[in-house]
Structures are given as C-alpha cells and as structure tokens.
Structure 1
Amino acid sequence: MTPETSRGIVRSSPLTRFRLAPNPGPMSLRGTNSYLIAAPGAAGSVVVDPGPLDEPHLQELAGAGPVELILITHRHADHTAAAARFSELTGAPVRAADAAHCHAGSPLLDGETLRAAGVEVRVLATPGHTSDSVCFHLPQDGPHGSVLTGDTILGEGTTVLDYPDGTLGDYLESLDRLERLGPATVLPAHGPVLQELDRTARAYREHRQGRLAQIRAALELLGADAGVDQVTDAVYADVDPAVRRAAELSVAAQLEYLRSRTR
C-alpha cells in the first residue's frame, strides 16, 4: 500500500484494492480507504465504505467496473456520507449493521456469509469503536486471509471509543474475537495495510491495559470521583488540542469500565 497515494486505485491484497478519499484530518488520518473486493476475472466488485460525498472519488470507484454490493463498517460520516449517492450512481444496494445506513438493502447480521464478485465475505460484529461496528473477513484472500477492520483497528495509532455508544468492555471482546482469526492481513479504513491481525490485536489490548493502569494511578492521586476533564489532563497532558475531544471520550469509556467493575 502506498500511503502517499491520494488519487487512483491501488492494490492492497490479492482480492482487494482501495482508493484513498480526499478527506485527511486529525481523526481520519490521510483519509478514508474505500475498498473494492473482487476475485480475479470477476466482472463486478463489492465496495466497502464509499466514504465522504466527493463526486470525483465516487466516479473513480464506480468506473472500476460494475458494483454489485456496497458495505459499511460503521456509522461515522467519513464512511457513510456518500453511501446513498453511490447507491444511486451504481444501482447497488447498501448494507450496514444499522438499518439507518442501509439503502435498498437489509441490515447486516453477525456471522452472515455474503457471496458477491466471486468472493466470500464473512460479517463479524465488532462493537467498541461504535456500537454498530463490523469487520469483514475474507478467508480466501492470501495464505492467511484478510480482514477489513474499519476503525476497530487502524493502520497507525489506536482507535477512539465513541463513548457512550462505544464501550471498552465491548471493544476488548472484539479484539479477542479478531485475535482468534490468526495472522490475517489487516485492511484498515485509515492508514496503511498491516500484517498479522492476531499480533496487532494483542498490541491494541496491551495499549488499552496500559492506559487503564495510567487512569488507575491518576484516580489514586485525584480521588476516586475525579471527572473526565481532570483525568484527561493527567493522562493525556501533551495531547494535541485537535484530538482533545477524542481523548476525553476514551477516558470516559475507561472510567465507566473501571467503575462498573467496582460497584
């Protein structure tokens, strides 16, 4: 994968390609990776996360060949804003876990196996980043398969828990579920492709456990009833103001996790 590529469609695995949407930012990193899934020789494709409402981006995705199905990893606008327009442009249905983001398609079901564009796509519910987050497992994509992880696992850094919609308890369970898929290729919605999903999931869990240890230490100094602002100041003292809100959401999620286990 070429992180600097902001135009054009790039190969990311044997069964996938992606186009980087022109929406860089503190939360979207270089932009949203819109993926196309297709078996070699297949006429059509499956598009995952058409991204922001940017017409040249959508036209290029549509121009890569007939689109059979559009899938959404979760509700955030940098993944869904273009869904209705892209469905209109291609005639393909949009399916997401949340019915509010489906267009001419039914909600995705955990454990469902989809077959389109000559590829088998398995749906995995992975709540935590948001309550409706799902990942898409492609077991035939290379020697170990691949997983389109949305924002559950990113190509760089760590993800935000959109509390209270996303919770740490759910997120840790989702990491466990992903780890069990073994050394699959990680195809994230933001950032570069990674190898060894199981190792990456373990690293994410270790990061969360480290943050929990920092928050426990902060509560010992500040008092058990310390608020989100106080704890964020203590644990994320050097955080960029552009992502301060994200840090507060993560702290809120971790405080809820800790306090729910001491009631």
Structure 2
Amino acid sequence: MDHLSAPTLIAPGIALLQADNPSEMTLDGTNSYLLFDPKISALSPGTPVVLIDPGPELPAHLESLAQFEIQLVLITHRHGDHTDGINYLHRLCQAPVRAQLNEYCRDAAALEDHEVISCAGINVQVHFTPGHTSDSVCFTLNGVSPHLFTGDTVLGRGTTILDHPDGTLEDYLASLDRLLRLDDMPLHPAHGEQHTASHQLLRAYLAHRESRLDEVRGALIKLGKAGADVDPAQLLDVVYPDLDPRLVGAASRSLEAQLHYLASNR
C-alpha cells in the first residue's frame, strides 16, 4: 500500500487529506477532514473516524481515507468535487453516508438541522446553511475546543459562488448570520487555508456581499435598468472588469443571485 497518503494533523482530533483536484473553482483541491477522539495522540491506520466530504472519485485519495476505520461519512453539499467519491468509498469500507439530500445518503437517514451526532468518540452538530447551494450544511465539532467545518459556504481564501437559482443570496446572508451567532472558533473550509477564528472571516464575507450589492446597484443605475429586466452578461464587465474567462459562468450565477435579491428586497 505504498501509494497511500498520510493525512496532516491540524488540531487534536482533526486531520486533513487534500484531494488532488486543483482548479480555479476548487483552489488547491477538496479538503477531506478526518475527525477522531482527541485523546488519541496519533492518527494511525484503523483509528475510528468520522469523515467530512470524501471528495472526487480519485482512487488514491479514497483508498488513503479508507485505511482508517470510517464509521460515518458526512456530506457538506451536492457538488461533485465533494460527492463523486461516495460510491467508490462505500465499496471500500461500507461506512454509512449522511447528507441533507437523500440521493447522497448510503445506508443512513438524511441529516436533520440542529441534530448532534455521536460517533467515533466525538460529537458533531449539524447546521443547515443554504446559499451556496440549497442543501449546504456546516458542522461543528463540539467539545472543550469547538471547530467549524464550512464546506463551500466559507472558503479558505476568496469568496464562494452562489449556485443560483438553487442557491439564493437571501438564504446565504441568513446562513452567514447564523454562523456568526455561534461561538468564535477555528474554521475549516472545503477549499483553501485553515483559519484560527471564524467571526472575523464571516464578517468579511458579509461586508464583501454588501459591497458587491452596492456595485451591482451602481451598474444598474449606469445602464439605466432595473434588476428585473437586465441580463447578467450586461453587468459582467462593469462589476467584474478583470474577470478570469474561466470564471464567467460562476460570476454570472452570482450576479443572477444578486439581481434576484435586489428585485425581491426593494
């Protein structure tokens, strides 16, 4: 099994294994998190764990995860860079899989908002946080030192897209507010770097969204249009003047979400 990769221990009871799927959307790759009893000093093959996001269907990545005793798999949301590896991993270890959507569950019930899951010697709480997608979920690892796992709701760097019309800005702003009402704690995103605190980043995300809305309002005034009768393509060059061509689709969906929000909140 020389091809197996070793996860990086990032905090007591938390290890990270990053999938090799870097892109403009996934940043350095998808972060798969292994959670285990913090009293265990070292993560070794066979250690009981809870896995957050198996990631894409990359055999080497999934086989490296399966060297541990995965007792439960938790899914942050439906996108393939988080879920495509579910079936391959399930064949390897038969661990139950839970997501908000039944179609991504395996041998287990769908997640419920606010529920606390006890497994592998730890307690994980579920927080529904729609916005990036309608099924987006964050998790907190409860204990003496709590930790927040945000999926794509909050990234390690940059800002996330809103997959409109499935994800809406109204939902997203409410989800950020919900996370701010939790204690300030280390934040672990599905893509990008780790953060030692959550509140500062969450406030920055809210400020960014407000700033972007102001830019869209200004662009609409410049074009002499209302939010309900404008094509997002007309705003791209105004709101995103130096946009990477690979991000046109994502930026267009985010603009759709912002236009929908402005039309609904006049």
What's the TM-score, normalizing by structure 2?
0.93
Identify the match of residue 104 of structure 1 among 107, 113, 121.
107
What SS does the aligned partner of 1:27 have?
A: coil
Inter-partner Cα distance in structure 2 for 1:176 and 1:48: 23
SS of structure 1 residue aligned to 2:246: helix
Question: Which deviations, in whole Å up to 9, do the C-alpha atoms of 1:1-50 show, x marking residues without a partner?
Answer: xxxxxx53111222210101010001000000011000133940001100
How many angstroms apart in 1 are the aligned matches of 2:246 and 2:144? Answer: 37
1:108 deviation in Å? Answer: 0.3
Deviation at 1:91, TM superposition (A): 1.5
Q: Which residue of 1 aligns with 2:126?
A: 123
Question: Alignment partner for residue 94 of structure 1, among 85, 94, 97?
Answer: 97
Residue among 73, 76, 95 paired with 1:73: 76
Q: What amino acid is the match of 1:177?
A: R
Instruction: Note the C-alpha offset of 1:233.
Output: 1.9
Q: Output the amino acid matched with 1:17.
A: A
The normalised TM-score by structure 1 is 0.94
Checking the alignment, whether the CA contact within 8 Å between 2:122 and 2:142 is kept in structure 1 is no
Counterpart mapping for 1:162-201 below 5 A? 162-201=163-202
8 Å contact kept, 1:183–1:195? no
- Say which SS state the counterpart of residue 203 (structure 1) adopts: helix
Contact 1:130-1:166 at 8 Å conserved across structures: yes
**In 1: Cα distance, 2:21 partner to 2:137 partner:** 22
Q: State how far apart, in whole Å, the 2-side matches of 1:56 and 1:138 are.
A: 27
- Residue in 2 that maps onto 1:12: 10
8 Å CA contact 1:70, 1:87 repeated in 2 = no
1:256 shift after superposition = 0.2
**Equivalent pairs, count:** 253
1:126–1:82 Cα change, 3 Å:
same
Runs of at least 5 residues in structure 2 that lack an aligned partner in the other structure? none
Give the partner amino acid of 2:210: Q
Q: Mark the runs of 5 or more structure 1 residues left unpaired by the alignment.
A: 1-6
- Distance in 1 of aligned mates of 2:147 and 2:79: 23
Contact 2:98-2:104 at 8 Å conserved across structures: yes
**Structure-1 residue corresponding to 2:212:** 211
Partner secondary structure for residue 120 of structure 1: strand
State the Cα deviation string for residues 48-95 of structure 1 (Å, max 9, x = none).
1000111111111111x2110011000000000001111121111000
SS in 2 for 1:162: coil
Runs of 4+ in 1 over 2 A off after TM superposition: 40-43
Q: Give the aligned partner of residue 154 of structure 1.
A: 155
Determine the C-alpha separation between the residues in 1 that align with 2:11 and 2:258.
35
Cα distance in 2, alignment partners of residues 45 and 167 from structure 1: 33
2:35 to 37, 57, 60: 37
Choose which of 254, 258, 261 in structure 2 pairs with 1:257. 261
Q: Look up the SS of the partner of 1:229 in the other structure.
A: helix
The 10-residue stretch of structure 1 (213-222 or 176-185) with the greater mean CA deviation from structure 2: 176-185
Partners of 2:205 and 2:164 in 1: CA distance: 18
AA partner of residue 197 (structure 1): S
Deviations 1:164-190 (A, max 9, x none): 000000000000010111221101000
SS in 1 for 2:237: helix
